[in-house]
């Protein structure tokens, strides 16, 4: 319960429980804040020259909702900010949380907002102070910090900002309200249309950023599907220098006709070459720039295969443990105030970084290479110098090491590389040998594990030197379609086109997966994704316009810069949406039929495992027995009386077709997930070699 014996105190609001504990411990005179609890809600009491109570939120405790209840109507343009438990199912805990904060606010005589210093954190703190604390938003002071280290938290408390950042709050409120207008109206229009036509409910959604994101993914999918491969030919020569053989490329990388390729091959076959020219060049490779969130997400996807959402989650955990600075930043700059030298000295206590930091600390000056982007709230992501107090899991270790090494690399010297290009004449046709090597490691010494630096060393050659050509090879190839997007490249595209924010992009990508508009790591648009976008482009093209979305983003940024009014942006958003909603209502039956049929097809697609290996014409599908309800895999040709192939499946957990074949036998596979166990891939071929090997391993273990 709330301690009744406490006198008046300062009340500090934080965004999450971990942050509250760190702030309370940092501000307590003895470094040991007392943990209290009220109805399961934790808070902390710290003592210095006066008593301080630190209470956490659970992220957003308030949200936007319509003024009248119900979910079965649209358009909706009147809204209010309400506690999340009022608007969302499954958020009952929020009521207790807000009751505890209100109790603590009653006995406080001073208020401090210590939520994360960005748009989302500013809204969280503002709403709590306004609604739960009784309109204390105008008298509250503000803590601003970028790390949860004791030193920075004490400094932030000693140098409190006199008031909240109201223009940042205005920008954030506007963004949430505009996104709500789009999301609630468009999503309800699609969902209600499909439900009313089919009589079955399925959640469909789109929004101000979700629609344009789906649009450019679909555009790429259409490019891939309509791509017609054309043939071309490449010629290579196996050239021997001393005792080593190297592959030389023909001067024309692509030969478009077979007759030309054959002519070159015939002219060079059986001929030796002569070195015409040797180009040796040195060039500098500058150090990388510090991580902003997007760059970290892109690098972690490329190196480890982590989705942007997963990387953001890992980085947030590292931040809450005071290991790195605040991750949701768009800055590429590292101010001197963070004290580069102190961070490196702290990192040197870790054996794996000791030699690396020693080299940097020996430099007369530490000057980072920085990028152009700047974030007024936070610097680029950097390690605090603190070392983990617990054993990090594998993914945390990788992301932490990546951030540490990137931080060190930005202080490194440029790497010096040498390229060598040998021009070889073979009977009037020119071939090239290419070599490369590193002359000076520079920053690569720090970032080496995460940068490709494969060397190709060529022996010394001179102009006029004879070269033995062992073989000339002609390869026929076909042009390839553009590559599929992956979560990392989608995030980069969103950044480039200026839609979404650093805090929302990863979640928008995840929503496209959750709604089953896209699937797979190398993103494939589903039939449902195509249909939803087709409806939007046909009946309301404005809401999937990348240009319009970017324009709204820019206007909301102007609110933050105090050069645009919140009211104007909201009014204009409604004016854009009104004719769109009218069109959707008018075409509701047509849209409902189109979407319902797409949903039905999508549900069938989800159950298709692959081609039947017995009859070769039917599809294997996850089916359910009418009498027992048990699931199994059966061939669709059974219903035509053509094939009786079937296979049993586990009855516990969920089963999902993987869309790929077993490496050992080539049969289709499924993934089985049972709560509390690691998912595993199942090949249902009873004769698969992998199953025989597994049986042998088990038998051997039993014999031992």
Q: Which residues are catalytic?
A: 326
Residue 367 is encoded by which pair of tokens?
A: 């000057």
Question: Which residue in 691, 521, 663, 589 sits closest to 194, CA to CA?
Answer: 589
CA torsion sign for 239, 244, 245, 248 is negative
Residue 185: Cβ within 10 Å count: 23
Residue 470 is encoded by which pair of tokens?
A: 């062992």
Nearby residues of 569 by Cβ (< 8 Å), 6 or more positions away? 174, 178, 552, 555, 556, 559
Question: Which residue in 291, 665, 276 sits closest to 465, CA to CA?
Answer: 276
User: To the nearest 10°, the Cα dihedral for 103, 104, 105, 111?
Assistant: -170
Inter-CA distances, 527 with 221, 524, 665, 676, Å? 11, 10, 29, 33
Secondary structure letter of residue 72 according to DSSP: S
Residue 435 is encoded by which pair of tokens?
A: 């070599």
**DSSP, residue by residue, 394-451:** HHHHHHHHHHHHHHHHTTSPPEEEEEEEEEEEETTEEEEEEEEEEEE-TTHHHHGGGS
C-alpha span between 689 and 151 (Å, rounded): 60
End-to-end alpha carbon distance in the chain:
58
Residue 451: Cβ within 10 Å count: 15
Nearby residues of 192 by Cβ (< 8 Å), 6 or more positions away? 72, 74, 588
For strand 9-14 and strand 51-56, is the pairing parallel, antiparallel, or unpaired?
Answer: parallel
**DSSP, residue by residue, 200-261:** --------TTHHHHHHHHHHHHHHHHH----EEEEEEEEEEETTEEEEEEESSS-B--HHHH
For strand 231-241 and strand 466-478, is the pairing parallel, antiparallel, or unpaired?
Answer: antiparallel
C-alpha span between 565 and 171 (Å, rounded): 9
Inter-CA distances, 456 with 116, 469, 480, 594, Å? 48, 19, 27, 57
At 484 the three-state DSSP class reads: coil
Residue 84 is encoded by which pair of tokens?
A: 């999340």
Question: CA angle, corner 91, sides to 89 and 96, nearest 5?
Answer: 140
At 658 the three-state DSSP class reads: strand
585 within 8 A of 189, measured Cβ to Cβ? yes
C-alpha span between 690 and 688 (Å, rounded): 5
Q: Which residue has the tokens 């249309």?
A: 193
Q: Is 33 exposed, middle or buried (0-12, 13-18, 19+ CB in 10 A)?
A: buried
34 within 8 A of 45, measured Cβ to Cβ? yes
Nearby residues of 680 by Cβ (< 8 Å), 6 or more positions away? 671, 672
303 within 8 A of 450, measured Cβ to Cβ? yes
């Amino acid at each position: 319960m709330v301690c009744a014996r406490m006198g008046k105190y300062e009340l500090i609001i934080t965004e999450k429980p971990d942050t509250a504990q760190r702030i309370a411990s940092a501000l307590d005179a003895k470094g040991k804040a007392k943990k209290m609890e009220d109805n399961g809600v934790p808070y902390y009491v710290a003592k210095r020259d006066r008593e301080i109570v630190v209470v956490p939120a659970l992220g957003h405790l308030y949200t936007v909702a319509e003024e009248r209840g119900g979910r079965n109507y649209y358009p909706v343009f009147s809204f209010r900010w309400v506690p999340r438990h009022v608007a969302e199912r499954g958020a009952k805990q929020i009521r207790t949380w807000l009751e505890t904060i209100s109790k603590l606010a009653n006995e406080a005589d001073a208020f401090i907002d210590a939520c994360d210093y960005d748009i989302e954190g500013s809204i969280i703190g503002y709403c709590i102070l306004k609604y739960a604390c009784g309109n204390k938003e105008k008298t509250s002071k503000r803590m601003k910090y970028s790390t949860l280290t004791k030193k920075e938290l004490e400094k932030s408390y000693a140098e409190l900002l006199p008031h909240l950042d109201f223009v940042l709050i205005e920008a954030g409120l506007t963004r949430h309200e505009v996104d709500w207008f789009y999301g609630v109206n468009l999503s309800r229009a699609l969902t209600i249309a499909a439900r009313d036509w089919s009589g079955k409910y399925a959640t469909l959604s789109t929004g101000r950023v979700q629609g344009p994101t789906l649009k450019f993914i679909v555009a790429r999918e259409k490019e891939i599907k309509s791509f017609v491969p054309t043939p071309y030919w490449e010629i290579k020569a196996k050239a021997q220098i001393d005792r080593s053989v190297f592959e030389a490329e023909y001067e024309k990388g692509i030969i478009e006709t077979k007759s030309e390729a054959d002519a070159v091959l015939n002219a060079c076959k059986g001929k030796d070459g002569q070195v015409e020219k040797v180009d040796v060049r040195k060039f500098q490779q500058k150090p990388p720039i510090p991580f902003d969130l997007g760059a970290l997400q892109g690098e972690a996807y490329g190196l480890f295969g982590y989705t942007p959402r997963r990387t953001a989650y890992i980085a947030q955990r590292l931040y809450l443990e005071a290991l790195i600075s605040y991750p949701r930043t768009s800055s590429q700059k590292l101010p001197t105030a963070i004290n580069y030298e102190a961070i490196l000295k702290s990192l040197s206590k870790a054996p794996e970084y000791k030699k690396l930091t020693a080299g940097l600390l020996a430099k007369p000056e530490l000057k980072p290479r920085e990028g152009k982007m700047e974030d007024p709230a936070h610097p680029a992501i950097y390690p605090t110098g603190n070392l983990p107090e617990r054993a990090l899991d594998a993914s945390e270790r990788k992301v932490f090491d990546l951030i540490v090494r990137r931080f060190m690399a930005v202080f490194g010297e440029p790497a010096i590389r040498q390229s060598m290009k040998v021009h070889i004449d073979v009977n009037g046709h020119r071939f090239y040998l290419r070599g490369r090597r590193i002359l000076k490691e520079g920053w690569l010494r720090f970032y080496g594990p995460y940068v490709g630096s494969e060397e190709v060393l060529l022996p010394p050659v001179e102009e006029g030197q004879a070269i033995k050509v062992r073989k000339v090879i002609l390869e026929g190839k076909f042009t390839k379609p553009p590559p599929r997007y992956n979560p990392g490249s989608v995030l980069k595209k969103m950044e480039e086109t200026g839609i979404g924010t650093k805090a929302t992009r990863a979640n928008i990508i995840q929503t496209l997966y959750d709604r089953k508009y896209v699937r797979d790591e190398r993103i494939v648009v589903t039939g449902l994704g195509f249909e939803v976008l087709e409806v939007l482009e046909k009946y309301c093209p404005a809401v999937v316009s990348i240009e319009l979305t970017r324009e709204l983003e820019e206007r909301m940024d102007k609110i933050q810069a105090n050069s645009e009014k919140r009211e104007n942006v909201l009014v204009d958003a409604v004016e854009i949406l009104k004719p769109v909603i009218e069109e959707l209502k008018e075409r509701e039956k047509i849209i409902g039929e189109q979407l319902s049929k797409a949903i039905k097809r999508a549900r069938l697609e989800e159950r298709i495992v692959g081609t039947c290996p017995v009859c070769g014409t039917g599809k294997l599908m996850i089916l359910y027995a009418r009498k027992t309800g048990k699931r199994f895999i059966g061939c669709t040709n059974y219903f035509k009386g053509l094939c009786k192939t079937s296979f049993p499946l586990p009855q516990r957990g969920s089963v999902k077709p993987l869309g790929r074949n077993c490496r050992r036998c080539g049969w289709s596979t499924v993934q089985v997930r049972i709560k509390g166990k690691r998912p595993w891939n199942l090949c249902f071929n009873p004769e698969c070699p992998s199953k025989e090997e597994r049986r042998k391993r088990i038998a051997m273990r039993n014999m031992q």
